[in-house]
Amino acid sequence: METAAVASKDVTVSLAEKKPKVVFVLGGPGSGKGTQCAKIVQHFGYTHLSAGDLLREERDSGSENGTMIKNMMNEGKIVPSEVTIKLLQKAMVENGNDKFLIDGFPRNEENRAAFEAVTKIEPEFVLYFNCPEEELERRILNRNQGREDDNIETVRKRFKVFLESSLPVIEYYKAKGKVREIDAAKPIEEVFEAVKVIFAPKVEKVKSSRCSSCAIL
């Protein structure tokens, strides 16, 4: 137990020294988070970390932690915040990058508070893909095969959970001026144009503006 605690502390210290830039990426099911994260990685050099993917990888690893995660998932229980945060910490420390997109986390206020308390990191901002429920339903039904009623029911449940759990997180960061909201109902390329404005370095924007002026002269 002591060894695990020491190892966890070492990871936290290493991460604090690294001082990574973290962006939380939130949005309802079907809002296009994954698609846009892939584009941000390609254009702006971020590393994309999905909390869900990390949990599934650990679950399938056969480790003691993985067995616990598997049992909790099988029982329909929510994996404790500390477990997910440790996986995120480990992934960030082991990665050579210092810029991370954390996708689908924090899912709720408890996640948010625990992440900041454990890692001592506040996100640079929250990238929020806002999309109406009707559009989310349309997208997911179009990409899924099977009985429509089942799909619609599932989507509506997931969207309800998102509204109840994740919106308070968005409101918390909005009060701190840290939310960058995107209209995710638009076509993929239009959405990315809006994303690019947020991620493009300020220096680059100024330089681009000056070059335009030079061209006129």
Question: Is residue 147 a known part of a binding site?
Answer: yes
Looking at residue 4, what is its pLDDT? 52
Question: Is residue 61 a known part of a binding site?
Answer: no
Alpha helices in 19-102 (DSSP H): 33-44, 51-59, 64-74, 81-94
Question: Is residue 27 a known part of a binding site?
Answer: no
Kindly report the number of other CB atoms within 10 A of residue 30's CB atom. 23
Looking at residue 205, what is its pLDDT? 45
Q: Is the pLDDT of residue 123 over 60?
A: yes
| Euclidean distance between CA atoms 132 and 119, whole angstroms | 33
Question: Is residue 112 a known part of a binding site?
Answer: no
Looking at residue 74, what is its pLDDT? 82
The one-letter code for the residue type at 170 is I
**Beta-carbon contacts of residue 186 (< 8 Å; ≥ 6 apart):** 194
Question: Is residue 186 a known part of a binding site?
Answer: yes
Looking at residue 171, what is its pLDDT? 96
| Euclidean distance between CA atoms 135 and 214, whole angstroms | 43
The one-letter code for the residue type at 194 is A
Q: Is the pLDDT of residue 118 over 50?
A: yes
Question: Is residue 78 a known part of a binding site?
Answer: yes
Question: Is residue 158 a known part of a binding site?
Answer: yes
Looking at residue 7, what is its pLDDT? 54
Q: What would the pLDDT profile of 150-193 be if each residue is shown by its tens digit?
A: 467 777 888 888 888 999 999 999 999 999 999 999 999 999 99
pLDDT band at 52 (very low <50, low <70, confident <90, very high): confident
Question: Is residue 205 a known part of a binding site?
Answer: no
> In the numeric block, which tokens belong to residue 121?
């990191």
Looking at residue 212, what is its pLDDT? 47
Domain ranges of the chain: 2-216
Looking at residue 24, what is its pLDDT? 97
Q: Hunting for tokens 């390329």 — which residue is that? A: 189
Question: Is residue 139 a known part of a binding site?
Answer: no
| Euclidean distance between CA atoms 186 and 202, whole angstroms | 25
Looking at residue 214, what is its pLDDT? 47
| Euclidean distance between CA atoms 11 and 95, whole angstroms | 12
pLDDT band at 6 (very low <50, low <70, confident <90, very high): very low
Length of the chain as a residue count? 217
Question: Is residue 105 a known part of a binding site?
Answer: yes
Q: Which of 46-50, 91-95, 210-214 is least confident?
A: 210-214
Q: Is the pLDDT of residue 36 over 50?
A: yes
Question: Is residue 104 a known part of a binding site?
Answer: yes
The helix/strand count (H/E) of the chain reads as: 11, 5
Q: What would the pLDDT profile of 68-103 be if each residue is shown by its tens digit?
A: 999 888 887 778 899 999 999 999 999 989 999 999
| Euclidean distance between CA atoms 99 and 150, whole angstroms | 38
Question: Is residue 32 a known part of a binding site?
Answer: yes
Asked if the peptide bond before residue 106 counts as cis, ω within 30 degrees of 0, the response is yes
Looking at residue 9, what is its pLDDT? 64
Question: Is residue 162 a known part of a binding site?
Answer: no
* CB of 84 closer than 8 Å to CB of 105: yes
* CB of 158 closer than 8 Å to CB of 30: no
> In the numeric block, which tokens belong to residue 171?
């409101």
Question: Is residue 142 a known part of a binding site?
Answer: no
Q: Which CATH number fits domain 2-216: 3.40.50.300, 3.30.70.20, 1.10.220.10, 1.10.510.10?
A: 3.40.50.300
Per the model's pLDDT, the better-predicted residue between 204 and 195 turns out to be 195
| Euclidean distance between CA atoms 42 and 47, whole angstroms | 9
pLDDT band at 106 (very low <50, low <70, confident <90, very high): very high
